[in-house]
């Protein structure tokens, strides 16, 4: 049976800074998705969050870019925005850039990662939700997972992965997508994805056609869509695991290294990617450091399955992978790096180059200073 997993996410207002959604926003989104289950638009769902971003993880049979599923997500974010407005939350409706839905949420603000696949006998799915950074934050871990045998042993010792993967890369400036055949074209691909300002890995595809898509990233730049900066395009990546794909442990391992990503305070800095649990994902140090949370569920027929005793739509208990003490190692290292980076204050490269800064009016500051101080 073919199913589609869609994660449509947005920041539609948050509590006391860019920290976390209010529970009433989450409940409002859940009520809309519940109706979506009743009406048959989706089979199942789970609402989650990282930092101030609400993630609507949905299971359905309508394929990628299905307008009825996108509309449902849009309605859920509208409902959550209403709550944000009532409560006077910060930046209510931030990522909803249009007033009326027009067929597809792409280009309307929310981030979208979705993949349709033929369900295997056992189908573990891991959702990586990141806050205070951009889709290119996944470039480094995805290269390690799908193209580095020193990370993914399966590339060497599992016959089904031995021939490698295809990786699609989005040029966020021009909008073109490039496909690379890994491992043969690894160096060519790295020439692009090493530039985390311009290029983002968008999709990974198994060379085994019966498996299909291995991973997807919400690689659309909100700021480019809007024509001006309105919020950060905090990304999500979805990856399937096991049985011809990287084992879940291979998917998680690269996050033990808190690599530097663009984002953090005002979307204008460089900080380490801090792996943590959902509950620990409130960005509190200089609105960060940038966070990544990984949750896992099985897909079984028309349901998600988590740790709950009786799976019911919307009431799952996903595995929260980075909650464990193992990842204290990465968190401690990340905090050392975070403090080190912050010690540079406003001096690059802790601060991003001007053209890459997001939530800023530095341009007018510069104009005024350059004009007024010339001698
Ligand atoms: P304000 O303009 O509300 O201070 O926003 C700044 C900010 O939070 C950017 O992240
Ligand atoms: P978000 O993109 O998570 O809303 O954060 C905005 C920001 O600038 C925080 O400093
Ligand atoms: Mg926010
Ligand atoms: Mg956010």
205 phi, psi to nearest 5 deg: -125, 135
Q: Which atom of ligand 1 is nearest to the CA of 91?
A: 3
Catalytic residue among 7, 9, 11, 52: 11
Q: Rounded to the nearest 5 degrees, what angle is found at the Cα of 117, between the Cα atoms of 114 and 123?
A: 100
Measured from the Cα of 52, ligand 2's closest atom is: 3
C-alpha to C-alpha distance for 190 and 188, rounded to whole angstroms: 6
- At 98 the pLDDT is 82
d(CA 371, CA 375): 9
Active site residue 168: no
Identify the DSSP state of 161.
T
User: What whole-number distance in Å separates Cα of residue 82 and Cα of residue 92?
Assistant: 8
Nearest C-alpha neighbor of 172 from the set 216, 224, 217: 224
Nearest-CA residue for atom 6 of ligand 2: 266
pLDDT value, residue 109: 87
Q: How far is 335 from 346, CA to CA, in rounded Å?
A: 18
Dist. CA 56 → ligand 1 center (Å): 25
- Please work out whether the CB of residue 266 comes within 6 Å of at least one atom of ligand 1: yes
How far are the Cα atoms of 183, 186, 202, 338 from residue 148, in angstroms, in the given order?
Answer: 8, 9, 18, 26
Instruction: Say if ligand 1 is within 6 A of residue 359 CB.
Output: yes
pLDDT in single tens digits along all 375 residues of the chain: 999 999 999 999 999 999 999 999 999 999 999 999 999 999 999 999 999 999 999 999 999 999 999 999 999 999 999 999 999 999 999 988 887 787 888 778 899 999 999 999 999 999 999 999 999 999 999 999 999 999 999 999 999 999 999 999 999 888 899 999 999 999 999 999 999 989 999 999 999 999 999 999 999 765 555 555 454 589 999 999 999 999 999 999 999 999 999 999 999 999 999 999 999 999 999 999 999 999 999 999 999 999 999 989 999 999 999 999 999 999 999 999 999 999 999 999 999 998 888 888 999 999 999 999 888
pLDDT at 276 (0 to 100): 98
- Which is nearest to 132 in space by CA: 292, 248, 245? 292
What's the distance, CA 145 to chain centroid?
Answer: 16
pLDDT above 90 as % of the chain:
87
Distance 126 CA to ligand 1 centre (A): 32
pLDDT at 360: 86
- Domain assignments of the chain as residue spans, ordered by start: 2-368
Residue 60 alpha carbon to ligand 2 centre in Å: 30
pLDDT in tens, 180-237: 999 999 999 999 999 998 999 999 999 999 999 999 999 976 555 555 545 458 999 9
Which protein residues touch ligand 2 with a CB less than 6 Å away? Answer: 11, 18, 51-52, 131-132, 231-232, 234, 265-267, 287, 359
CA of 267 to the centre of ligand 4 (A): 10
Instruction: Report the run of H or E that residue 54 belongs to, with start and end.
Output: strand 53-60
- 57-70 pLDDT, tens digit per residue, is 999 999 999 999 99
Atom of ligand 1 minimally distant from the CA of 359: 9
Protein residue whose Cα sits closest to atom 7 of ligand 2: 266
């Amino acid at each position: 049976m073919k199913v589609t997993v869609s994660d449509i996410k947005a920041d539609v207002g948050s509590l006391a800074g860019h920290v976390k959604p209010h529970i009433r926003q989450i409940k409002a989104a859940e009520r809309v998705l519940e109706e979506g289950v009743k009406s048959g638009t989706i089979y199942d769902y789970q609402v989650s969050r990282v930092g101030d971003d609400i993630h609507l993880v949905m299971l359905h049979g309508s394929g990628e870019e299905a307008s009825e599923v996108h509309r449902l997500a849009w309605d859920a974010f509208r409902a959550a925005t209403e709550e944000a407005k009532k409560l006077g939350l910060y930046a209510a409706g931030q990522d909803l850039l249009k007033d009326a839905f027009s067929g597809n949420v792409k280009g309307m603000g929310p981030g979208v990662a979705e993949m349709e696949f033929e369900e295997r006998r056992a189908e573990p799915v891991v959702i990586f939700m990141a806050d205070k950074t951009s889709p290119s934050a996944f470039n480094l871990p995805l290269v390690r997972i799908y193209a580095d045998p020193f990370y993914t042993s399966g590339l060497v010792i599992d016959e089904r992965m031995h021939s490698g993967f295809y990786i699609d890369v989005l040029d966020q400036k021009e909008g073109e997508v490039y496909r690379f055949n890994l491992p043969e074209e690894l160096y060519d691909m790295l020439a692009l994805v090493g530039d985390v300002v311009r290029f983002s890995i968008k999709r990974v595809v198994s060379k085994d056609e019966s498996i299909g898509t291995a991973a997807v990233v919400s690689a659309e730049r909100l700021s480019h869509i809007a024509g001006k900066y309105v919020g950060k395009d905090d990304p999500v990546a979805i990856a399937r695991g096991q049985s011809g794909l990287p084992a879940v442990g291979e998917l998680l391992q690269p996050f033990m290294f808190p690599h530097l990503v663009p984002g953090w305070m005002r979307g204008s800095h460089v900080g380490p990617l801090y792996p943590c649990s959902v509950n620990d994902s409130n960005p509190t140090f200089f609105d960060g450091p940038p966070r990544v949370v990984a949750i896992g569920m099985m897909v079984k027929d028309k349901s998600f399955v988590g740790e709950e005793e009786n799976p019911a739509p919307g009431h799952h208990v996903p595995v929260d992978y980075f909650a464990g003490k193992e990842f204290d190692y990465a968190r401690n290292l990340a905090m050392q790096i975070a403090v080190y980076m912050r010690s540079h204050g406003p001096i690059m490269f802790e601060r991003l180059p001007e053209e890459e800064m997001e939530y800023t009016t530095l341009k007018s500051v510069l104009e005024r200073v350059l004009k007024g101080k010339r001698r």
